[in-house]
Amino acid sequence: MNAFKWKHFESHIILTAVRWYLQYSLSYRDIVELLKERGVQVSHTTIMRWVHQYGPEIDKRIRRFLKPTTDSYRVDETYIRVKGQWKYLYRAVDSNGQTIEFMLSENRDVLAAKRFFKKALSSAHNQAPRVITVDKNPAYPPALQQLKDETEIPKKTLIRQTKYLNNIVEQDHRFIKKITNPMLGFKSFQTADRTLKGIEAMHILRKGQVEIQLSPVSSIAQFINHLFGVSA
């Protein structure tokens, strides 16, 4: 299936614009100016539509290349502004700081926590947790107990509510906030969810979580082009 069918711009230009927005603290209008220097005239609303379409697609396509994470989960939430209200971005990294999973949620409760853990457990690059470190959010213990009762996670999994042990995931939030803070909030939950999937995917690539070597920026660009069958 051609992911760029009916598009009026070349695929490598689309992917370049999307990658810039998801990887750096740039506005849509900044990218308009950068593309103009390359002789490409495109509106900021077009770039926005590209991000909403291809951000989730990048996240989807990198999944089969991800390296296995460890069995030590560090879980926390950070706040994302949507339509003037705070929503919750659940995030988990392992003991090495590698991304386990992420999920944007309308609510911060037992159901949301349980849904997040189920998503993490269903990802092929993750293994069953030996230990899960969370903060003092009271929703976590009952959510995890329900998952134990349903045999979704091993009964012997250790649950630790110790804030200082979660410094690694709190530090990891900084990259995401560095990209999202200049955006001054999202217009809808759906666009927030789609954009964040792309931002998290680029963060995963930056951390070298795929099975190929991705040190230089050019290698990340080449890898994304490869995911979509694009030669540039």
Structure tokens at 42: 């495109």
Q: What is the mean pLDDT of residues 49-71?
A: 96
What pTM was computed for the model?
0.93
- Residue 232's pLDDT band (cuts 50, 70, 90): low
Contact call for residues 93 and 126 (beta carbons, < 8 A): no
DSSP symbol at 84: T
Which of these, 70, 76, 209, lies nearest to 129 by C-alpha position?
70
Tokens representing 93 are 């990294």
- Quick one: pLDDT at residue 140? 96
Q: What percent of the chain has pLDDT over 90?
A: 83
Q: At what angle do helices 11-23 and 44-62 cross, to 10 degrees?
A: 80
Is the pLDDT assigned to residue 133 strictly greater than 60? yes
The pLDDT value recorded for residue 212 is 72
Average pLDDT, stretch 171-193? 93
Residues shown for the chain: 232
pLDDT at residue 34, rounded to an integer: 97
- Taking only the tens place, the pLDDT of each residue in 75-105 is 999 999 999 999 999 999 999 999 999 999 9
Q: Which of 63, 49, 56, 54 is nearest to 205 (CA)?
A: 63
Flag whether pLDDT at 113 surpasses 70.
Answer: yes
Residue 109 burial by Cβ neighbours in a 10 Å radius (0-12, 13-18, 19+): middle
Please compute the mean of the pLDDT values over residues 213-222 and round it to a whole number.
Answer: 69
Token pair 């080449």 in the structure block, residue: 222
